Structure formats: C-alpha cells, structure tokens
Amino acid sequence: MKRYIFLDFDGVMNTKRGYRALAAEGRPWKDECGPFFDEEAVRNLRTIVEGTDAEVVITSTWKFLGEETMQELWARRRMPGILAGVTPEAPCASFAKRGQEIAAYLAQHVEEGEACRYVIIDDGRDFLPEQIPFCVFTDPDVGITDEDAQKAVIELKRVL
C-alpha cells in the first residue's frame, strides 16, 4: 500500500517557536537551503515516517525552488524518510488550489484500484472538501506537535 505525507513547510516545519529557540541559543536561523526547521517538528515528522513508512511529498511553495533543490535540502538536513517528490502546479489559481495539486499528484502516482493512504499536514485550509478528513492542521506558531503526529499515524495506518 502506498502511503504519502503531503507536507507544507511554513507554519508546519519552520515555526515561531523554532526561531525563538535558535535565537535564545545564539544559533543562526537559516542556511543555504533557507530557514531552519523547528527541531521538535522534525522529530514529530520522524515519528510519523517511522511509524508508517509513508513517503513525503512537498506541497509548500518551497517546491518552486525545484524538486532537485528539495532533494538536496532533504539529504543535507538529514530529514526523515523518502522524499517522493513535489506536487505539480495547479493550472489556475482557483478554489482549493493546494488540494487540486494534491489530487493531481495522486492521479499521476496511484493506479486505479491501488491501495493508498495519505495525510495532509498544513497550517492552511486550501483543500478540496473530500480531503478535509485527511488533514492535520497545525498551529503555525508551533508546527507539528506530538498530538498531530499521533493523529497522522492513526490515519495512515487506518485499514481501507
């Protein structure tokens, strides 16, 4: 069975909490890849990946830096799991643009009748109505919490 985590970055992986922690320790807030991710959010993403073997698909606007750049970021920062790719750009700016991009990715990568589970982890609400049950909405100040991680694991392990 295919399992995907559709992942936003801003407000999910990089957070105000993370920036405050870096500042308090006198550490830099970014590298050549961009702003650093909140260490707790990364730890919680790791919990999801290790608990489900789900692959990660980037939905963040960071994807416009290119899939190769995202793969480099994933490797350089030793992010958890396999980065399967990025969602395609929706053909037009319309209702539920990010949701349309996720639907297009699934249509391209999941064969008809193939078993697939997914979660969407985002601080926004730009999704299709049928995707809402698969969303884990984060607080942009803190990103992925332990509770969010557990919710995602339960959804990804749910029996079809």
pLDDT at 70 exceeding the cut of 90: yes
Report whether pLDDT(93) > 70.
no
* Amino acid symbol at 64: F
pLDDT surpasses 70 at 160? no
pLDDT tens-place string over residues 36-62: 999 999 999 999 999 999 999 999 999
**In this predicted model, what pLDDT tens digit does every residue of 97-121 receive, in sequence order?**
899 999 999 999 999 999 999 999 9
Mean of the pLDDT values across residues 9-18? 95
Counting residues of the chain whose pLDDT is more than 90, the rounded percentage is: 89
